[in-house]
Amino acid sequence: MTDYPIVEATDIPAAITALKQHYPDAVKEDTRQGYSGVVVDRKRLVEIAKFIRDDLGFDYLSSATAVDYYGIADEMEMVYHAYRTAGGPALVFKAQTPRDNPEIPSLVEIWPGADFQEREAWDLYGIRFPGHPNLKRILLWEGFHGHPMRKDWHEAYYEQDHKPFDSRWPAGHVRRAEELNVYGKNVRYPADIDLSKLSDRSEEALYSDLGLGVSIQELEGDASLKTDRLVVNMGPHHPSTHGVFRMIITLNGETIESLEPVMGYLHRNHEKIGERNTFLHNMPFTDRLDYISSMSNNLGYALAVEQLLAKGARYQPPTYRAEVIRVLMVELTRIVNHYWAIGFLLNDLGAFFTPALYAIAEREKILDFFEATAGSRMMCNYMRFGGVFKDIPERIRSVANLVNDRVRDFNTMEYLTELINERIPRSIDELDEFLTESEIVKSRSIGVGYLPPEMAIAYSAAGPLLRASGVPYDVRRAEPYSIYPELDFDIAVRTHGDIYDRYLIRLDEMRESVRILKQILPRLERTRGEPIFAGSKQHTPRVPLGEAYGRVENPKGELGFYIVSAGDEKGPQNPWRYHVRAPSFINLTALGQMCIGHKVADVVAILGSIDIVLGETDR
Amino acid sequence: MYGKGIAKGLWVTFRHFVNTYLDDIRYAGRKYLRQDNFEIRQGLKAQGAFTVQYPDEKLAVPERFRFIPFLVVEDPDHPERPNHDWCTSCGICAKVCPPQCIWIVRGSDPATGRPIPEPEAFYIDIDICMNCGYCAEFCPFDAIKMDHDYELASYDRTRHHIHDKQRLSKPLSYWKQIAPTTALEEAIERGGWEHPDIIKVMKKAGKEPVQPTAENMFAKPAALTATVPEPPAAEAAADADPAKAERLRKREEALAGKRAAEGGEAPAAAAPPAASAAPAAESKPAETLAPGGKPKFDKQAMLAKIRERKAK
Amino acid sequence: MSQLDLRELNSTEFPIPDEMQGNVAITSLSKIYNWSRRSSMWPLLFGLACCAIEMIATAASRYDLSRFGMEVMRASPRQSDLMIVSGTVTKKMVVPIVRLYNQMPEPKYVLAMGACASGGGPFKEGYNVVSGIDQYLPVDVYVPGCPPTPQALLFGLIALQKKIDGQSLANLDDVPWYGVGPSEPTPIPILGPDIIDPRQMDLIRRQAELAAAGKPYGIREIPAPVQKQEAPQVEAKTKAASEGSEDEAKAERMRKREEALARKKARQGS
CB-based contact A143:C193 (threshold 8 Å): yes
pLDDT of the residue at A555: 92
pLDDT tens for each residue of A207-256 = 776 656 555 555 566 656 666 778 888 878 887 777 788 888 888 888 88
CA atoms within 13 A on the CB side of A549: 24
Overall residue count recorded for chain A in this entry: 619
- Who's near A529: CB < 8 A, 6+ residues apart? none
Q: Over 60: is that where the pLDDT of A448 sits?
A: yes
State the Cα angle at A275 between A270 and A281, rounded to 5°: 80
CA distances from A485 to A83, A481, A549, C42 (A): 19, 8, 20, 51
Taking the alpha carbons of A217, A223, A224, A226 in that order, is the dihedral positive or negative? positive
Cis peptide before C107, with omega less than 30 degrees from 0? yes
| Percentage of chain A modeled with pLDDT above 70 | 95
Q: What is the pLDDT of residue B246?
A: 62
Residue B82 main-chain phi, psi, to 5 deg: -60, 140
Q: Average pLDDT for residues A561-565, to the nearest whole number? A: 92
Q: Report yes or no: C225 at the A interface, CB cutoff 8 Å.
A: yes
Residues A147, A149, A152, A156, CA torsion sign = positive
Q: How many CB atoms lie within 10 A of CB C71?
A: 14
Binding partners of B (≥3 Cβ pairs within 8 A) = A, C
Distance between CA atoms of A179 and A495, rounded to whole angstroms? 57
Within 10 A of B237 (CB to CB), how many other CB atoms are there?
10
Given this model, what pLDDT does residue A526 score?
92
The answer to the question of residue A494 being in a domain is: yes
Q: Which residues contact A432 (CB under 8 A, 6 or more apart)?
A: A507
- Asked whether this complex has an ipTM greater than 0.90, the answer is no
Q: Bigger pLDDT: B73 or C269?
A: B73
The residue among B102, B127, B146, B147 with the most chain C CBs within 10 A of its CB, best to mutate, is B127
By C-alpha distance, the chain B residue nearest A381 is B132
Q: Which chains border C (3 or more CB–CB pairs < 8 Å)?
A: A, B
Task: Indicate the residue among A125, A140, A163 that finishes a domain.
Answer: A125
Cis peptide bond upstream of A522, omega within 30: no
Mind listing the pLDDT tens digit for each residue in C179-225? 777 778 888 888 888 888 888 888 888 888 887 787 766 666 544 55
Cβ–Cβ below 8 Å for B60 and A401: yes
Instruction: Give per-residue pLDDT as tens, C76-90.
Output: 888 898 999 998 999
- Residue in chain A closest to B10 (alpha carbons) equals A434
The residues spanned by each domain of chain B are 1-59, 69-191
What is the spatial distance between Cα A153 and Cα A561, in angstroms, rounded to a whole number? 23
Instruction: Give the pLDDT confidence score for residue A34 in this predicted structure.
Output: 86
Please say whether the structural domain B69-191 has been given the CATH code 3.60.20.40: no
Say how far apart CA C110 and CA A61 lie, in whole Å: 44
Task: Tell me, yes or no, if C61 comes closer than 8 A to chain B by beta carbon.
Answer: yes
Task: Tell me, yes or no, if C249 comes closer than 8 A to chain A by beta carbon.
Answer: no
Q: Domain end: A125, A154, A185, which one? A: A125
Instruction: Tell me whether residue A214 is in a domain.
Output: no
- Is residue A162 over pLDDT 50? yes
Q: Which pLDDT value is given to residue C240?
A: 37
Q: Is residue A21 part of a domain?
A: yes
Tell me the H-state helices in chain B.
4-26, 35-42, 92-96, 134-138, 157-160, 165-168, 172-178, 180-190, 196-204, 233-240, 242-265, 267-283, 299-311
In order, the DSSP letters of A112-145 are TTHHHHHHHHHHHH--B-TT-TT---SSS-TT-S
Domain interval for residue A39: 11-125
Nearest to A402 among B4, B151, B297 (CB): B151
pLDDT score for A178: 82
Q: What is the pLDDT of residue A552?
A: 92
Which CATH number do you get for residue A376? Answer: 1.10.645.10
- In this predicted structure, what is the pLDDT of residue B178? 87
How sure is the predictor about C231, in pLDDT bands with cuts at 50, 70 and 90? Answer: very low
CA distance B298 to chain C (A): 13
Q: Which of B39, B49, B60 comes nearest A361 by C-beta?
A: B49
SS3 B266: coil
Dihedral sign of CA atoms A347, A349, A354, A360 in order: negative
In a domain, A596, yes or no: yes
pLDDT value of position A401: 74
Collect contacts of A230-238 with beta carbons under 8 A, ≥24 apart: A231/A207, A232/A600, A234/A603, A234/A604, A235/A262, A235/A265, A236/A262, A236/A265, A236/C93, A236/C96, A237/C46, A237/C96, A237/C100, A238/C75
Q: Does residue A579 have a pLDDT over 90?
A: yes
pTM given for the model: 0.83
Number of Cβ within 10 Å of residue B70's Cβ equals 22
pLDDT band at B82 (very low <50, low <70, confident <90, very high): confident
- Taking the C-alpha atoms of residue B119 and residue B94, their distance in angstroms, rounded to an integer, is 12
- Chain A environment of B276 (Cβ under 8 Å): 173-174
- Round the average pLDDT of chain C to a whole number and report it: 78
Mean pLDDT across A318-324: 91
Question: For chain A, what percentages of helix, strand and coil (3-state, to nearest 5) are there?
Answer: 40, 15, 45
What are φ and ψ of residue B105, in 5° steps?
-105, 120
Q: Read off the pLDDT of each residue in B53-79 and give the average, rounded to a whole number.
A: 87
Rounded Cα distance, A504 and A342, in Å: 9
On whether the CB atoms of residues A107 and A46 are closer than 8 A, the answer is: yes
- Smallest Cβ–Cβ distance between B157 and the set C118, C228, C229 belongs to C118
**CATH code at position A31:** 3.30.460.80
Average the pLDDT over B89-114 and give the result.
87
Amino acid letter, residue A232: V
Using the predicted structure, report yes or no on whether residue B222 has a pLDDT greater than 80: no
Please check the confidence at residue A527 and state whether its pLDDT lies above 60: yes
Mean predicted lDDT score pLDDT of chain A:
86
Q: State the average pLDDT over residues B144-172.
A: 87
pLDDT for position A572? 86
Q: Is B106 in contact with A168 (CB distance < 8 Å)?
A: no
Q: Say if residues A588 and A608 touch (Cβ distance below 8 Å).
A: no
Using CA coordinates, name the residue in chain B closest to A371: B65
Domain membership flag for residue A239? no
Q: Where residue A536 falls among pLDDT bands split at 50, 70, 90?
A: confident
Taking only residues 1 to 60 of chain C, the set having a beta carbon closer than 8 angstroms to any beta carbon of chain B reads 1, 60
Which of C62, C119, C159 is opposite residue B157, by nearest beta carbon? C119
For residues B76 and B73, what is the distance between their CA atoms, to the nearest angstrom? 9
Number of folded domains that form chain A: 2
Q: What single-letter DSSP state applies at residue A375?
A: S
pLDDT tens, residue by residue, C129-149: 998 898 898 899 999 988 899
Arithmetic mean of pLDDT, B134-149:
90
Provide the edge-to-edge strand list for the sheet that holds A60-68.
Answer: A27-29, A38-40, A91-98, A75-83, A60-68
B265 burial (CB, 10 Å; 0-12 / 13-18 / 19+) is exposed
* CA-wise closest residue to A339 among A431, A462, A444: A431
DSSP line for C86-120: ESPPBHHHHHHHHHHHHHSPSS-EEEEEHHHHHH-
| pLDDT average, residue stretch A121-126 | 91
The verdict on C165 touching B (C-beta cutoff 8 Å) is: no
Average pLDDT score, chain B: 74
Q: Output the pLDDT for position B281.
A: 37
Looking at residue B17, its pLDDT comes to: 87
Domain boundary (A109, A125, A141) is at A125
pLDDT at residue A62 tops 80: yes
Q: Which residues of B170-209 are buried (b: 16+ CB within 10 A; e: fewer)?
A: bbbbbbbbbbbebbbeebeebbbbbbbbbbbbbeeeeeeb
Neighbouring-strand partners of residue B201: none
pLDDT tens by residue, A459-479: 999 999 999 999 999 999 888
Q: Which of B50, B61, B127 sits opposite C118 (nearest CB)?
A: B127
Q: Tell me, rounded to whole angstroms, the distance of Cα B75 from its chain centroid.
A: 13
- CB atoms under 10 Å from CB of C262, counted, come to 10
Rg (CA), chain C: 24
CA angle A227, A232, A237 (to 5 degrees): 165
Question: For position B289, what pLDDT does the model report?
Answer: 32
Which of C74, C127, C191, C228 to substitute to test the interface with A, most A CBs within 10 Å?
C127
Residue A517's pLDDT is 93
Give residue A19's pLDDT band: very low, low, confident or very high (50, 70, 90). Answer: confident
| Contact status of C159 with chain B (Cβ, < 8 Å) | yes
Q: What pLDDT shows up at residue A370?
A: 92
DSSP B162-220: EE-HHHHEEEHHHHHHH-HHHHHHHHHHHTSSS-HHHHHHHHHTTPPPPPP-SGGGGSP
Instruction: Determine, yes or no, domain membership for A182.
Output: no
Which range has the worst mean pLDDT, A20-24, A123-127, B52-56?
B52-56
Beta bridge pairs of residue A92 = A81
Q: In angstroms, what separates the C-alpha of C73 from chain B's closest C-alpha? A: 19
